[in-house]
Amino acid sequence: MSASDHHQQPHPSFEILGGGLQRFFPSLTHLTRPYNPFPFITWNRHVETIFASFFRSTPDVTLRRQCLRTKDGGSVSLDWVSGDDRRLLPHAPLLILLPGLTGGSGDSYVRHMLVRARSKGWRVVVFNSRGCGDSPVTTPQFYSASFLGDMHEVVSHVSDRYPNANLYGVGWSLGANILVRYLGQESHNCPLSGAVSLCNPFNLVVSDEDFRKGFNKIYDKALSSALCKIFKKHALLFEDIGGEYNIPMVANAKSVREFDDGLTLSFGFKSVDDYYFNSSSSDSIKHVQTPLLCIQAENDPIAPSRGIPREDIKENPNCLLVVTSKGGHLGWVAGDEAPLGAPWTDPLVIDFLQYLETEAAKAPQTCSNSGDNKETLQSVV
């Protein structure tokens, strides 16, 4: 590190904190420059969120799908970039992408990250959860925030396939919540060398409270409609299962809470609030032993700022939190590629991951990428 690096300061347009600040900040030069939201579009958090969802460009990438059958007979879909097995060396760093609720490899923010990482020589795979991204549902085990079993099996499979590669993860929204919960559960035994969490709701109880207020009801209705569509497509799997599933409630849910309520008992929880409380990643931060960058927007309508576990992030030397003043949910319409290009966060994410990979290359691995500890969990937003 040069002498000038010691004098670099975060730009005041960011809230930056974490036990890993001194370790990670020098590699994140984007944070020394102001966060400049794109004019007009970003004046309102809902306008920015909706604009990014409907109008952001989607890079054209040819993907090759691998259907992975899980131990319980379920199925998840892994989308790899076609031709990368011939183009990349077996030890190329490998990035697992976890989209948000009902999201998949076709989403624009996923594609932009995939393209940027690939341009740096990374192998990338998108983890499409059960029923998402046209991934089939083959058992009554449905998509949920409490179930981490598929994450364990995906990491184990990818590690077995590329045993000489360092593994990393990037998750958005509910995918970020699942990723952070996985990091916390694995703790010292985590096979990942680093991770990034974006737009993480962290505290699902707080997120649920805000989700049912004002304009947020529009998102609630849209997401519940998408969930119901997935459920109805595979409804025959749930017929005559009885007891713990309220099939009519799930199939006709008018809100995410109502949808979750119909499935909650099947996940082993007493109520939907019990499910949200125990499926939140906010309590996982204190157990994370893997380098973790968390990026949030102060005005995120779906992942409220007050739900961020700031004190635990401050106490953990492996964690760094960056909060932008604007950004909406999965928006971040700012930076050189705004308004139609990649989110402002993408270069920051790549700089963090490149730093970790460089550091990992300097030191021999002390633990293998094993997936032996396979508990059964699940994913939600």
Catalytic residue IDs:
173, 300, 329
CA 219 – CA 212 distance, rounded (Å): 9
Query: Residue 26, preceding bond cis, omega within 30 degrees?
Result: no
Identify the H or E element spanning 15: strand 14-17
**Which amino acid type is present at position 114?**
L
Cα–Cα distance measured from residue 225 to residue 234, given in angstroms and rounded to the nearest whole number: 15
Note whether 16 and 322 are within 8 A (CB).
Answer: yes
d(CA 102, CA 113) in angstroms, rounded, equals 18
The kind and range of the H/E element at 48 are helix 45-55
Question: How would you classify the pairing of strands 167-172 and 192-198?
Answer: parallel
Q: CB of 152 within 8 A of CB of 182?
A: yes
CA distance 224 to 234: 16
Joined together, the tokens standing for residue 293 give: 């960058």
Mode of pairing for the β-strands spanning 319-324 and 14-17: antiparallel
Residues 52, 326: contact at Cβ < 8 Å?
no
CA dihedral of residues 327, 356, 120, 338 (deg, nearest 10): 10
Helices then strands (H, E): number in the chain? 13, 9
**Six-digit token pair at 176?**
């970020």
3-state secondary structure of 13: coil
C-beta separation of 46 from 215 below 8 A: yes
The percent of the chain in helix, strand and coil, each rounded to the nearest 5, is 45, 15, 45
The CA distances from residue 66 to 126, 142, 159, 166, 336, in Å, are 10, 20, 15, 20, 34
